[in-house]
Structure 1
Amino acid sequence: MKVFALCMAAVFLIGNTVYAAEKTEIKEKTAIPVHQTVVWDGTETKMPGYNIDGYAYFRLRDVAKMVSAYAADEKSYFDLDYQKETNTISIVTGKGKYMDPAREKVFDVGTEEKKAFLADTTVVVDRLNGLTDKGIGEGYVIDGYNFYKLGRIVGALGMQLNWCKEEN
């Protein structure tokens, strides 16, 4: 009887250990560097980002810089605020042009493929009317930076994005 009880306890502990390992497994993807041509209200520019599973991902701060530089409608401008305590990035609308704290540094993705890990950061959109939206979808962390799909970012901000298949 003691042997049976010990065997059952061992099976229970091994089963829970395997389940815990599966639950905390980090999903890794391959991120391929891209310099995507993006046209902002008629102005063409190249944005550094990554292709993950066929989708282009960009840093929020790069999108904020591009919107501030090229968007014709000032209502499109937004700022970013990170709350370390809650690991939350707030996209704050209605604050004027984005002022990048690292404006002296030029960000580039390089040419090497990188490992991308699913981000655990929450991103919220704070609107002037006080509503908070959670809706930019999953992001990935690459070299310590968070990347999100361009379409989801601009969509959450009420902007439109059109894909030109002929010009990629």
Structure 2
Amino acid sequence: MKKTLVLSLFFVMLLGTTASAKVVPTEQDVTLDGQKIEIEGYSIEGNNYFKLRDIAAILNGTEAQFNVEYNSSKNIIEISRNKNYAKLPTDLAVSTSKDTESKKSSQKVYIDGEIVNYTAYYINGNNYFKLRDLGKTIGFYVDYDESSRTILIKSEKVEPTDLIEREEVTFKSFAVDTLSNKQEFKIGEKKDITMDDFISNIESAVLLSTDERQFSAKVEYDDGKNTVKIAPLLFKIKGSLNFTPIFKVEQGEETYFENASGNINLKSLTSKINDSKDFRIVLGYYVGEASPQNFRSFSILEFKN
């Protein structure tokens, strides 16, 4: 009986350590360049959290302005420093709900193409981020006046830094097992292909640094720049290699190359072959001059009857 009681108490303590943090509306005043502003925030474990878009809205037009966009295809938030932000009707709106539903957020956020390891909370349907973390990584001034219990935001631009110390590594090459990175479809099954069709095949990718270290890597596609990015899986390692994607269409002895993009009509891409017979499309890149002998394969889609 005593043993059962001890185990029960242990699990109660364990559950208590994983329970969500206490979330209460921020009581402190908030000022921007000395002027009080109305903005909704929450206090969580002694830190103030605000909506990213609200901060973008109040800093828009200043030297510390930044843009925020949600990339639905990748389920990521993209922040772009030094860019104008178009305010939404929902920005700076104050919730009328008296109930607060919150949980830790796993939302991925990128700043100028680099992932940031934020601590965030999903509160009443919105992601809230620690204000000091936003100021540090985006590059604007944040402080707190203890005597007046006021949160101070300034629009002056400051040098942004990472939240954690990351090792900057220079990479010289990467390797993938192209034959393993292959996916098969039935002819007529797809009308369009996307870069994600190829990237989702990648089972293993390795980066080689200039000092001869090897790092397991992840592969991402930047549709804005039309580049494939190979970056280390370890968050503590900073750096990447990029390439401009090229499609190679193969059917028997027939082979030709086309510029790749994020979304392309399959019928248009295969217009030079008989697309009712088996064919394959290879995602790759050129090493040096754009010529067939300089093409390197990366991932393959096969289409068969």
TM-score, normalization by structure 1: 0.68
Counterpart residue number, 1:78: 66
Counterpart residue number, 1:158: 139
Counterpart residue number, 1:132: 114
Percent of pairs with identical residues: 23
Query: Any stretches of 5+ residues in structure 2 without a counterpart?
Result: 1-13, 150-305
CA distance in 1, matches of 2:79, 2:144: 24
Contact 2:70–2:77 under 8 Å retained in 1: yes
Q: Which structure 1 residue ranges, 4+ long, deviate > 4 Å from structure 2?
A: none
Q: Does 1:144 align with 2:125?
A: yes
Query: Any stretches of 5+ residues in structure 1 without a counterpart?
Result: 1-21
Which is richer in helix? 1
Counterpart residue number, 1:107: 93
**Root-mean-square deviation (CA), in Å?**
2.4
Tell me which of the two structures has the higher relative contact order, counting C-alpha pairs closer than 8 angstroms and 6 or more residues apart: 1
CA distance in 2, matches of 1:47, 1:139: 17
Matches within 5 A, 1:16-95: 27-34=19-26, 36-68=28-60, 74-95=62-83
Q: Which has the larger radius of gyration?
A: 2
Which is richer in strand? 2
Contact 2:108–2:115 under 8 Å retained in 1: no
CA distance in 1, matches of 2:24, 2:95: 9
1:44 shift after superposition: 2.1
Letter in 2 for 1:119: S
1:28 shift after superposition: 2.6
CA distance in 1, matches of 2:80, 2:19: 30
TM-score, normalization by structure 2: 0.39
Task: Give the number of aligned pairs.
Answer: 133
After superposition, what is the alpha-carbon deviation per residue over 1:106-140, rounded to whole angstroms, capped at 9, x for unaligned? Answer: 621347351311111111111xxxx63515x2100
